[in-house]
Amino acid sequence: MPAEAASVFSAAARGMAWAQEALDPAWRGLIARAASVRKGDAAQAGLPADPSEAAATRAFATYAIEFADRGPNKPRHPRHKA
């Protein structure tokens, strides 16, 4: 593996490890399944996405945007105190 590819791979692995620890535990399964899908996997190449996984991924994207907007130390809902 070229050094540049290894660097990108390790950055992605670190990002997924961080997400597993820092984000709501409800997303751990989706993150783990995403981590297990290997780029270029011939068994999955060209197959349509599983509709439930696509819906979960969209929900995660919404969660991630909200997480970024509020920051990790702010309450999830206005009624909750930090």
Q: Is residue 76 part of a domain?
A: no
77 belongs to a structural domain: no
pLDDT category, 49, cuts 50, 70, 90? confident
Residue 56 falls inside a structural domain: yes
pLDDT of residue 13: 85
Angle, alpha carbons 13-15-17 (nearest 5°): 70
Q: Which residue has the higher pLDDT, 67 or 6?
A: 67
In a domain, 51, yes or no: yes
Residue 40 falls inside a structural domain: yes
User: Alpha helix (H) ranges present in 1-82?
Assistant: 3-22, 28-36, 51-70
Q: Note the pLDDT of residue 57.
A: 93
Give domain status of residue 63, yes or no: yes
Q: What is the pLDDT of residue 74?
A: 60
Tell me which DSSP letter residue 80 carries: S
pLDDT in tens, 20-38: 898 899 999 999 888 877 6
The number of domains in the chain is 1
Is there a domain that residue 80 lies in? no
Give the C-alpha separation, 33 to 62, whole Å. 18
Range of the structural domain that residue 60 is part of: 3-70
Rounded CA separation 26/33 (Å): 13
